[in-house]
Copies of this chain bind each other. A is one copy, B any other.
Amino acid sequence: MSYFNAMRGFPEAEYADRVARAQAAMANHGLAALLLTTEREFRYFTGFLTRFWESPTRPWFLIVPASGKPVAVVPSIGAPLLERGWLEDIRTWRSPDLNDDGVELLADTLNELSADGRIGLPMGHETHLRMPLADFFRLHSVMGPNRLSDDRGIMRELRMVKSVAEIEKIRAACSVADRAFARVGEIAAPGKQLDEVFRRFQILCLEEGADWVPYLAGGAGPQGYDDVISPATQAPLAAGDVLMLDTGLVRDGYFCDFDRNFAISSASDEMRDAHGKLIEATAAAFDMAKPGALACDLFHGMDSILTGGKGGAEAGRYGHGLGMSLTEWPSLIADDRTELVDGMVLTLEPGIETAPGRMLVHEENIVIGAGGAQYLSAPASAELPILNGAAGGEPA
C-alpha cells in the first residue's frame, strides 16, 4: 500500500470503520448495496486519490455490499493505483468502450453482490451521478424495476461527521492557507493587477504546502466587491481598495475554505466597521456552535448582527460544511435544521452589504467538539489589516 505514505492518507482501519458504519446504516434502511460514482464517494471508502477524475471520459464505480470490503468496477487504467490500496476485489474493463462502457460488468457485479436486494445511490441535495445518463437508464433496464433507489441520505450522514484523522487533514490544509495569507503583503499593492495577485497567491499556497489549489475567488474595490465568485479581472488595485481572497486549497485530499480581507494602503472607517461587524458575527456563531445547536441557529445568530434579523442576503448563506469537498452539507440558512454534533467541520461565512451591489464577506473554518467549537483557521482579528506594500517581493 505504497500510496499510504508517512503522514499521508489513512490507515486501513479508517476505511474499515467507514465501511462498517455504512453497512450498519444500510442494514437499518434495508439496502443490499450502495452504488457510488463520484470522486468523493469513491475515495471516502478506498483512499483512491488521483487528479485523473479531471478527465470526464471514463466512469468509475464502487459498490459497498451488505458485508465485506467494497468492490471496485473501474477502467483498467486505474487498476495499478487502486491495487496498492486496501480493496481486494477490483474488476476492470478496457475503457473507453463505445459499445458498453462498463455497464454490463457493473450490472453483473451488482447482481452478484446484492442478490435481489435494493441498491442505494446518493440522489439528494449536493449530489450528482457521475456516469452518462443513458448508461444509468441502461443499468436500470438491465437490473429490473425497484432495484435502484436513493441511499436514504447515508452518504450525507457519514461524510458530514468527520473522524479525528479527517479533522487533522483539514487543519493541515487550513494551516497552509494561514501561512499563505500571512504573505499577501508580498504580492498585493497599489497598481498590481488582480489577475496577477490571484496567480501569485496560488503560488504562495503551493510554496506553503498545498498539493494543489482547486479554488480561488476574490475581488477588490473601495467599498468591497460585487460578488464572491468572479474570476480576477486585469484591473489594478488602488489605494483604499478592500481586497478579498478566498481559497479552497487541498492537502492530502482535504480542503480548507476561508478568506481574508486586506485594505490596500488605507482603510475607510466604513470598511473597518463592516469588517469588525463580520468578525463579531463570526464570534457569535462560534460561541453557539456546540453539539445540539441547529445549523439555522447559527444563521440567525449571525443574521441578527449583520442585518438586524432580516433573513440574510439573497445570494448567500452564512457558512456550510467542509471536508473532501469545498462545500458540503449542512447549510447555514434559515431552513436547515441539521443538528450539530461532535466532529462536524463548518465554515462560518458572514457577509454584509456595504453599498448597493457591494459587499464584504469573511470566513473561518471550525470544528465542533463535545465542549464547543475550535477554530481550524487562525481566526482573523477584528481590525481590518492594512497592506502598505513594504513586504513586497516582486515576482520574477
Contacts from A to B (Cβ < 8 Å): 2-3, 5-6, 8, 49-52, 54-57, 75-81, 92, 94, 96-99, 101, 121-134, 137, 150, 195, 198-200, 202-203, 206-207, 209-217, 226-231, 233-234, 248, 314-317, 320, 325-328, 331, 333, 335-336, 357, 395-396
- Tell me whether A129 and B123 are in contact (CB under 8 A): no
Q: Sample 13 A-B pairs with CB under 8 A, ordered by A number.
A: A54-B215, A54-B326, A57-B126, A77-B227, A77-B315, A81-B229, A81-B230, A94-B314, A98-B333, A128-B131, A199-B206, A199-B211, A211-B231
On chain B, the residues within 8 Å of A227 by CB distance are: 77, 80-81
* Residue of B whose beta carbon sits closest to that of A327: B55
Q: Contact: A231 with B54, CB < 8 Å? A: no
Question: Quick one: which of B134, B199, B212, B215 contacts A150, CB cutoff 8 A?
Answer: B134
Q: How far is the CA of A2 from the CA of B233 in the complex (A)?
A: 8
Query: What distance in Å separates the Cβ of A56 from its nearest Cβ neighbour in chain B?
Result: 5
**Are A96 and B331 closer than 8 Å at their CB atoms?**
yes
* Among B129, B203, B210, contact of A129 (Cβ-Cβ < 8 Å): B129
Nearest chain B CB to A338 CB, angstrom units: 10
Chain B proximity of A331: nearest CB distance (Å): 5
The residues of B that contact A81 with a CB separation of less than 8 Å are 227, 229-230
Are B129 and A77 neighbours in the complex by a CB distance under 8 Å? no
Distance between A83 CB and nearest chain B CB, rounded to angstroms: 10
Contact assessment for A230 and B126 in the assembled complex, using a CB-CB cutoff below 8 Å: no
User: CA–CA, A130 to B132, complex, Å?
Assistant: 11
Say whether A234 contacts B55, CB under 8 Å: no
Q: State how many angstroms separate the Cβ of A295 from the closest Cβ of chain B.
A: 10
- A81 vs B317: C-alpha distance when bound (angstroms): 18
Identify the interface centre among A6, A94, A317: most chain B CB within 10 Å of its CB. Answer: A94
Partner of A234, one of B6, B80, B198: B6
By a CB distance below 8 angstroms, the chain B residues around A96 are 125-126, 317, 331, 333
By a CB distance below 8 angstroms, the chain B residues around A228 are: 77
Residues of B within 8 Å of A325, CB to CB, are: 55-56
Q: With A123-B132, A206-B203, A331-B57 known to touch, is A231 a contact of B357 (CB < 8 Å)? A: no
Q: Kindly state the separation between the CA atoms of A123 and B76 in the bound complex, as whole angstroms.
A: 23
Extra contacts besides A123-B137, A195-B211 (15): CB < 8 Å:
A3-B230, A5-B234, A51-B217, A56-B326, A57-B320, A77-B228, A77-B315, A99-B335, A122-B133, A127-B132, A127-B133, A129-B133, A134-B150, A202-B212, A207-B395
Q: What's the minimum C-beta distance from A241 to chain B, rounded to whole angstroms?
A: 16
Q: How long is the Cα–Cα vector from A122 to B2 in the complex, in angstroms?
A: 39
- Residue from B210, B212, B231 within 8 A of A3 (CB atoms): B231
Q: Do the beta carbons of B202 and A207 come within 8 Å of each other?
A: no
Q: Are B231's CB and A56's CB within 8 A?
A: no
**B5 and A327 within 8 A (CB):** no
Among the interface residues A125, A211, A216, which one has the most CB atoms of the partner chain B within 10 A? A125
User: Does the CB pair A207–B396 fall under 8 Å?
Assistant: yes
**Chain B residues near A94 (CB, 8 Å)?**
314-315
CB-CB nearest 6 A-B residue pairs = A52-B229, A123-B133, A77-B315, A123-B134, A55-B327, A80-B227
A154 to B396, CA, bound (A): 45
Which residues in B have their C-beta under 8 angstroms from that of A133? 121-123, 127-129, 150
Q: Which of B122, B132, B327, B396 contacts A124 (CB 8 A)?
A: B132
B-side contacts of A331, CB under 8 Å = 57, 96, 98
Name the B residues within 8 Å of A5 (CB-CB): 233-234
Docked complex Cα distance between A101 and B127 (Å): 12
